[in-house]
Amino acid sequence: MKKDITVTAKTVEDAALEGASQLGVAREDVEIEVLEEPKKGFFGMGAVPAKVKVTYILKPLEAARNFIETLMADLEIQAEIQIHDDGNGESLITIEGEGASILIGHHGDTLEAFQYLVNLAANKKDDEDRQYTRITVNIENYREKREETLRKLAAKMAAKVKKTGRNIALEPMNAYERRIIHAEIQKIEGVSTNSVGTEGNRRVVIFPEGNAKPTELKPEKKQQKRNGERREKSDRRDTKPSYDKSKSERREKPSADKSETRNEPKKEYSYKRPDTPRPAPRKIEKAKDLDSYFAKLKEFSSNNPQ
């Protein structure tokens, strides 16, 4: 990552010193590009100052800090940044402050993406001699809390595997979290681990020692509930065939040709109420009374035709 500034001064060296001062670095840490050479003029008239472009290439941790400060300023987050450099190409940046937890996300997903961007900014190849620096970002001590949770999860799942004798696949994790699980399981006898799946959906599988090492995840069997089957059957029973109006009209209305050949007069039916009073209904108390009841009903209908 670079910072540059254009400076004018009486001489090129004066411009270089002024530019380094404005950038807050030493003169030997900047590179200069002369855009315009100075001219003395004639008796001081028509003199032109030197115009120089002063460039400073930020060191990896400086570039990382600059990126984080810019991002947090854009998000209006007030937080304190601390950089811990061990001098061996490994560095830790801790961020603490109100509102900083927004950069953690669900199970650290946002934090991992943020850390990836910080490493990109820090290790941009602006200089051939630039050495790669691995940076770990920690926000509000999240990594310590997550590590403790993962260790407990590993112990719990290991006990379950030893009890059931079956493999257990954990949820997808990044490389950092998978290393924690592997390290914790190595301390427990009788179980072992292996990572399976593609990157982005890679999981740790815990399996009993002595069993074949799992190399892929087995597809889960879908169990269909009986209630669902009954519901589907009832849906099929309730489904009615579509109504065809043309068929019903053909059934109800006889064709014109048949009516013309028969030439039969239409019968008119009318209901006449009988003069004799109807028998009073009685209560059927026993099943054996049904026969006598139907016999009387038949006799009544024959004596009182409509």
| 3 state DSSP class of 138 | strand
**Cα distance between residue 189 and residue 228, in whole Å:** 43
User: And the tokens for 98?
Assistant: 């109100």
Residue 117 CB-half CA count within 13 A: 12
**Cα distance between residue 306 and residue 294, in whole Å:** 18
**Cα distance between residue 188 and residue 205, in whole Å:** 15
What is the spatial order of strands in the sheet that 134-139 belongs to?
Answer: 80-85, 90-96, 134-139
pLDDT at 259: 45
User: And the tokens for 79?
Assistant: 């937080």
Q: 9, exposed or middle or buried, with CB in 10 Å at 0-12, 13-18, 19+? A: middle
pLDDT at 198: 85
Q: What is the mean pLDDT of each run of 10 residues along the chain (306 residues)?
A: 84 87 84 85 75 86 90 90 86 90 88 92 74 89 92 95 93 90 94 89 91 76 53 52 53 49 52 54 49 59 54
| 3 state DSSP class of 34 | strand
- Structural domains in the chain? 2-57 (no CATH), 60-140 (3.30.300.20), 144-208 (3.30.1370.50)
Contact present, 162 and 211 (Cβ < 8 Å)? no
**Cα distance between residue 19 and residue 291, in whole Å:** 121
Residue 222 CB-half CA count within 13 A: 2
**Cα distance between residue 35 and residue 222, in whole Å:** 72
> Rounded to 5 degrees, what angle do the CA atoms 87, 93, 94 make?
140
pLDDT at 39: 83
Q: pTM score, two decimals?
A: 0.57
